[in-house]
Amino acid sequence: MRKIYPFNAGWLFMSQRAGDDVADTDFVPVTLPHSNALLPVNHFDDAEYQFISTYRKRFRLPRPLDGQRVFIDFAGAMISATVSINGHTFAEHRGGYTPFAYDITDYLHADGENLLTVHLDSTERADIPPFGYVVDYLTFGGIYREAALRYVAPAHIVNARVRPDDPMAQSTTADVDVWLSDATPAGLTLIAQATIDGHTVTVEGVTTAEGTLTLTLPPCAYKRWSPDSPQMYTLDLTLLGADETLDGYAVRFGVRQAVFADDGFYLNGEKLFLRGLNRHQTYPYIGAAAPARLQRKDADIIKYELGCNIVRTSHYPQSKHFLERCDEIGLLVFEEIPGWQHIGDEAWQALSLRDVRAMIERDWNHPSIVLWGVRINESWDNTEFYTRTNALARQLDPTRQTTGVRFWPESEFLEDVYGYNDFTNSVLEPTQTPWLITEFNGHMFPTKTIDGEERQVEHAIRHARIQDRALGMGGVSGAIGWCAFDYNTHKEFGSGDRICYHGVMDIFRLPKYAAYAYASQVSPQQRIVLQAATIWAMGDRSAGGNDPLYIFSNCDEVDVYAGKDHIGRFMPERAEFPYLQHPPFKVTGLGMRWGEEFGDLHVVGYIDGQRVAEQRISCDGQPAQLLLCADDPTLAADGADMTRIVFKIVDRYGNRLPYARHILTFAIEGDAQIIGENPIAAAGGQGAVYVKAGTRAGVIKLTAQTARLPAATVHINIG
């Protein structure tokens, strides 16, 4: 029977190429996911992670071979890996975004120690997508996703795909396509079993010489998967030998119909406007080496904190943990192959086609994924190449439409959906259909959490305006803004400090005002949002004052008070935003209060005449508290699990003070590590570090200190 052993602990790492003769003591112990360099938030050089490194792992087999095959599985390593086992070297794996595996059985020492070595080239190799030209993001180095040791019988299941026949029918059959290993003989029994709505269905088939097989599940009444009700099912496959079970393989799937039509996107027959953001997979300090918990948290942030219904995995296949969470919470996904504006030579294109295959074969069972991006982001037309990427995607997965992202509207349309980056600060009339806006804003209006109020408000309004126009423009399926989170980049891009400040949240995933332009679009039944887009100061804007004051909210009405004055009761600004479900409120009449008494801002939100939310912002700009908050109360004691620790310098009502530049010093007690700069300066009155669990159970105490405010402490359980 298949047995998977996580293979993440007990690695040794050296930041240069080392032969087997180099002593273990010259290496440092590490756990996967691993970043080959821990970096500051900004102002570092990409040479700090672009080098060849060596990973080494000594291990004994966790159990006897007993005729099984043993594979080493890597979920992702950046960017090119040469793997050796006990002196045998496999062909180099090129590409950092999709999984790879080697059958190491024939080279193993069954009873003794084994030496696994990975020479990892994390330089920007022009022969591997996305490289060959500049790229506006960083491809941080390291074995940055998990590894596993996989025991399987020679006859085993390689992959499986579930294809419901008619997702819209009350009850539907589903084809289960199964791929078997080359060593699987014809004539073995394969059983598929699933429990649907309390009923267990089972179907049997017999393996064939071709190595593939399709079983058909009988008609079942599936609950359809949707953002509001993300129903998932598990299918268990069992491969039987003459008198033993040879393999077991589980597939998670969902049943839904997703169609981009000429007039918009339809999910399960209902029109759904796609409101989304792009996500890069990188984080401060750790590059892309984020464990499952952080990957899953990003999906939660995009769905729950930002109220999006779709995310684009710009510009490459992302962690399976992220995608699994998108399935579980009902966040739609547009996933694409690695690349950025550049198409390389024939060998490069062959790798890109390999990426199309690897992406689709890894991810075809995720109901959340509704589009395959099979064009290099913003590249020029290439009829021959893109005819091939589209044909391959359609052949591998006839159930999903393809798209490609371009930045000029006359580009050749070989895909099923025209993906267009509309940087006009408006919304272009579609020149093709189906049409999806795949980016907007971004570099046209970079905005930092330390920028002045005017800029931050304008940034938020641009996002709101484009979402509004896109909603109102017939034939636009949705708008996916650039982007969710600020991200590290090369010197050719961004603000000169290696950051593109294009996020509606900062690099720590903490909100700018633009985040509330998204958050406020959710139904108040889900969550009531009320956020005044102001720091409430008299002289931050040009010429002073706060007029007009925008408030992002899904309330029906708001009352606004400045000090003792009732400024008025306001309705959402429908004239400026005719299509948004919940337009921002635009408060005028605040006047210029120089020389007058300046009091606190008080906003009260009403729904159906009932007071449901309020916000107060202090006028005195006094830091009242250092807030410290851990995203998770408990971490696993696996040496890799991490949680984010957010800090904020806030006024007496809990609003962050964006110009507070307090320096925080963290101290930790217990078996865990602080990942981040320490001490660290607040930026925009906020920031974050991470706590990474050790391997001993216990309670971690993390304390942050800063001048003039009481220290703050959080406790995290490890175990």
Chain positions contacting ligand GAL, by CB under 6 A: 136, 314-315, 377-378, 407, 421, 439, 442-443, 482, 502
Residue 259 C-beta: closest distance to ligand GAL, Å: 26
3-state secondary structure of 514: helix
Phi and psi of 495, rounded to 5°?
A: -100, 20
| Residue 576 is among the residues annotated as catalytic for this protein | no
Q: How far is the CB of 489 from ligand GAL (least distance, A)?
A: 8
Q: Residue 252 in 3-state DSSP?
A: strand
What letter would DSSP give residue 185?
A: P
CB of 490 to ligand GAL, least distance (A): 10
Least separation in angstroms between CB 32 and ligand GAL: 27
Place of tokens 């696996």: 638
Residue 366: both structure tokens together: 């995720």
* Closest separation in Å from C-beta 427 to ligand GAL: 16
Rounded CA-CA distance 420/399 in Å is 22
- The nearer residue to ligand GAL, 404 or 605, going by C-beta atoms, is 404
Q: Which of 341, 471, 480 is nearest to 421 (CA)?
A: 480
What burial letters (b/e) apply to 646-661, b meaning 16+ CB within 10 Å?
A: bbbbbbeeebbbbebe
Residue 439 known to be catalytic: yes
Whichever of 313 and 314 has its CB closer to ligand GAL, that residue is 314
Q: What's the closest the beta carbon of residue 336 comes to ligand GAL, in angstroms?
A: 11
Catalytic residue among 146, 415, 439, 453: 439
Sign of CA dihedral 118, 78, 318, 92: negative
At closest approach, how far in Å is the CB of 340 from ligand GAL? 6
- In angstroms, the CA 567 to CA 590 distance is 7
SS3 19: coil
Q: Which two tokens stand for residue 376?
A: 């290099």
Beta carbons of 255 and 351 less than 8 angstroms apart: no
CB atoms closer than 10 angstroms to residue 578: 12
Instruction: Name the residue nearer to ligand GAL (CB basis): 377 or 553.
Output: 377
Nearest to 626 by CA among 608, 646, 641: 646
CB contact set of 629 (below 8 Å; sequence gap of 6+): 645, 646, 647, 714
Least spacing, CB of residue 78 vs ligand GAL, in Å: 18
Q: Shortest approach of ligand GAL to residue 331 CB, angstroms?
A: 20
* Residue among 124, 324, 336, 378 flagged as catalytic: 378
Q: Which of 490, 512, 508 is nearest to 499 (CA)?
A: 490
Whether residue 71 contacts residue 149, with contact meaning beta carbons closer than 8 Å, is answered with yes
Ramachandran class of 68: left when φ > 0, alpha when ψ lies in -120 to 50, beta otherwise: beta
Question: Which of 353-391 are b and which e, b meaning 16 or more Cβ less than 10 Å from the residue's Cβ?
Answer: bbbbbbbbbbbbbbbbbbbbbbbbbbbebbeebbebbbe
CB nearer to ligand GAL: pick between 494 and 511: 494
Pair 478, 310: CB distance under 8 Å? yes
Q: Which is nearer to ligand GAL, 283 or 364 (CB)?
A: 283
Nearer to ligand GAL, 31 or 318 (CB): 318
Nearer to ligand GAL among residue 179 and residue 407 (C-beta): 407
Nearer Cβ to ligand GAL (149/517): 517
In this structure, are residues 129 and 350 in contact, taking their beta carbons and an 8 Å threshold? no
Positions annotated as catalytic residues are 378, 439
